[in-house]
Structure 1
Amino acid sequence: MQINKYYLSALSSFVIWGFFSLALKPLHNYPSLDILFYRVFYATGLSLIINLLFRKEKLKTDWKSFVTLEKSEKINTFLLTILGGFLLILNWFLFMYAVNHVSLKSASFAYLICPIVTTILAYFILKEKLSKWQWFSVFLCVISCGILSYGDFNGLIYSLVIAISFALYLISQRKNNKFDRFVVLTVQLLIASIVLLPFFPVYRGETPTESIFYILMIVIVVLFTIIPLFLNLFALKGMNSSAVGILMYTNPMINFLLAIFYFKEEINLTQIVSYSLILISVVIFNERFLFSSKKKINKQNNYEIE
């Protein structure tokens, strides 16, 4: 099996995110908004420090490139970057609320729907092409998600909002590809901080005093925010949104296993069947990476990037 750096980056980001609940669950006694505030503010501060101290040349290069763009391209880049910041805030808050106040499986279900939503939206918005096998994979995912959502329509609606927010983030950032990915991520985090800052004095809870809160926040910011987001944005330079989206299934699969074996949440036969279908669909969707020759893969990747 031949795997390029973009494919590996996308897969690594979702594997890392799959273990996010290990750091998030111990914070379930803290309000979700507080966790969001600290996560965004810490991530923004750290990203700014990294760029200003170690990546000044990248900043200068990107600024020169931005200045030379036509007015329409500047506006488009500006709007896509702002949109990315808003979508990140919405997605993070809803996911953390689901993990800590609903159930880990409900949060996982949102990311089961997300690849389907991403694939469909990318097909209509970005005109990304899919093979017959990939459409069959999407069909299997729809069936499995339909089985899981049976009898819980309200949960399905809630999960759809989470899924659509991240799907739109992936698609919008696929188009926002003119600048260094870490610089773009930093700007989006800065935008997110500016949006949240006025709400912080009003909606924050009591200032946390336990050291475990700050230790886990550092872990969340570095390991579960900056690193996987950068890997994800980097992957979008060389893969289409549909391929990145379908790899997202590794995230809920890991969440599902953690829910069963670590957090001891109950599981039934329906869930086992549904997740098995999802695993099969992931293999089918990525059959060209798993079974094709290196030459064929490179040709397909070059087509996707164009």
Structure 2
Amino acid sequence: MLKKAIQYMIISALAFTFLNVFVKSLNHFSVYQIVFFRALGSLFFTIPFLLKKKMSFLGNKRGLMIMRGIVGLISMTLFFLSLKYIAMGTAVSLRYIAPIFATFFALFILKERIKPIQWLCFAVAFSGVLILKGFDEDSEIQIIGVVLALTSAVFSGFVYIFIRKIGDADHPVVIVNYFMVISAVIGGLLSINEWKNPEGKEWLILMSLGVFGYFAQLYMTKAMQVGETNQIAPLKYLEVIFTIIIGLIWFKESYTIWSLVGILLIIVGLTLNIMVKRSKKINRNY
């Protein structure tokens, strides 16, 4: 089962990577138009699924799902926008600190407890952020891109909170469908004034965004279902490695030693946090 879970996570990481790469390659399009096509592509999967299963499109906790859709849209838009300013590996690494914000919000909103050692894990990860933000003077990282990626992570943290509050009251595909519908409608409306008609293979690339996004989420979910969380979850950071490698080859992106140190600290801090949270759950079971 572990071997299959690892295979699923590798497929998921590759799908997320190609999503990032194609978004980066479409930087001559409006970010809202990119968001529109990203959502539209996924709706080709979520709507048929709901129809086949004869599930309600409206769901139960509609207000929470609308809020989840809105904060998810903001997070996705800001992340896509950050890719226009900074290297893909840097943007992806910064986006992954969302669990830090999610844990902080959960402390006050959901009244969840946080182990002291988790703060140490977050400190390690955040030290990587500081290196990327201010200590790497020789890199081409622009402050606006870093701020966009960090703000994206903040809103992604809110996504975690809304999903927790929704709980199992609604099917995951219903929740995702809300997110995609909201993103397609708002993204489409905001892109009208800046709309650029795709040409040739651009149509294929734009429509593939939703396909890669859908299968990335699908295989990550499959991996979590068949494997132990503490063994599988850290593998999602393969996306960072794959993105850096393709960025170096495809876009000729460059990273200084300090950039790589910062990214490594983020990955290490967040991986340790996953392991700590898993051990906490195991201890509670005994």
TM-score, shorter chain, exceeding 0.5: yes
Q: Give the alignment partner of residue 203 of structure 2, picking from 214, 225, 248.
A: 214
Q: Does the Cα contact within 8 Å between 2:128 and 2:262 map onto a contact in 1?
A: yes
Measured against aligned partners, the alpha-carbon deviations of 1:248-295 in whole angstroms (never above 9, x if no partner) come to: 6554444334334553312112122222323432442233699x7xxx
| Contact 1:108/1:256 (8 A) holds in 2 | no
Give yes or no for contact 2:41–2:209 (8 Å, CA) kept in 1: no
Q: Match of 1:55?
A: 53
The 5-angstrom pairing of residues 136-151 of structure 1 reads 136-150=120-134
- Report the Cα distance in structure 2 between the residues aligned to 1:106 and 1:96, rounded to whole angstroms: 13
8 Å CA contact 1:12–1:228 kept in 2: the answer is yes
The equivalent position to 2:72 in structure 1, one of 76, 81, 88, is: 88
Partner in structure 2 of residue 191 of structure 1: 182
Once the two structures are superposed, the pairs formed by residues 67-216 of structure 1 within 5 Å of their partners are 77-150=61-134, 154-177=144-167, 178-200=169-191, 202-210=192-200, 212-216=201-205
Which residue of the partner structure matches residue 272 of structure 2?
A: 284
Alpha-carbon shift at residue 172 of structure 1 (Å)? 0.9
How much does 1:9 deviate? 8.0
Deviations, residues 123-155 of structure 1 (Å, cap 9, x unaligned)? 332233343443321110111111111166544
Q: Which runs of 5+ in 2 are unaligned?
A: 136-141, 226-231
Tell me the number of residue pairs that the alignment of Structure 1 and Structure 2 aligns: 275
* TM-score, structure 1 as length reference: 0.71
C-alpha distance in structure 2 between counterparts of 1:109 and 1:172, whole Å: 23
Cα offset, 1:236, TM superposition: 9.9
Cα shift at 1:101? 4.7
Q: Which segment is superposed worse, 169-178 or 93-102?
A: 93-102
Q: Is the 8 A contact 1:13 1:231 kept in 2?
A: yes
The secondary structure found in structure 1 opposite 2:198 is coil
Please state whether the residue corresponding to 2:183 is helix, strand or coil: helix
Alignment partners' CA distance in 2, 1:302 and 1:251: 32
Q: Cα offset for 1:81?
A: 0.5
Aligned residue type for 1:188: F
The corresponding residue for 2:256 is 268
Name the structure 2 match of 1:42. 41
How many angstroms does 1:167 deviate by? Answer: 1.3
For structure 1, the residue ranges without an aligned partner over 5 or more in a row are: 67-73, 238-243
SS across alignment from 2:84:
helix
- Give the CA deviation at 1:168: 0.9
Structure 1 residue 41: Cα displacement: 2.7
Give the letter aligned to residue 258 of structure 2.
T
Q: Residue 148 of structure 1 aligns to a residue in which SS? A: helix
Question: Residues 118 and 273 of structure 2 are in contact (CA less than 8 Å); yes or no, is this contact kept in structure 1?
Answer: yes
Give the match's secondary structure for 1:100.
Answer: coil
1:216 maps to a residue whose letter is: I
Shift of the 94–279 alpha-carbon distance from structure 1 to 2, 3 Å rule, reads closer
Q: Please report the TM-score for the alignment, with normalisation by the length of structure 2.
A: 0.76
| Contact 1:185–1:230 under 8 Å retained in 2 | no
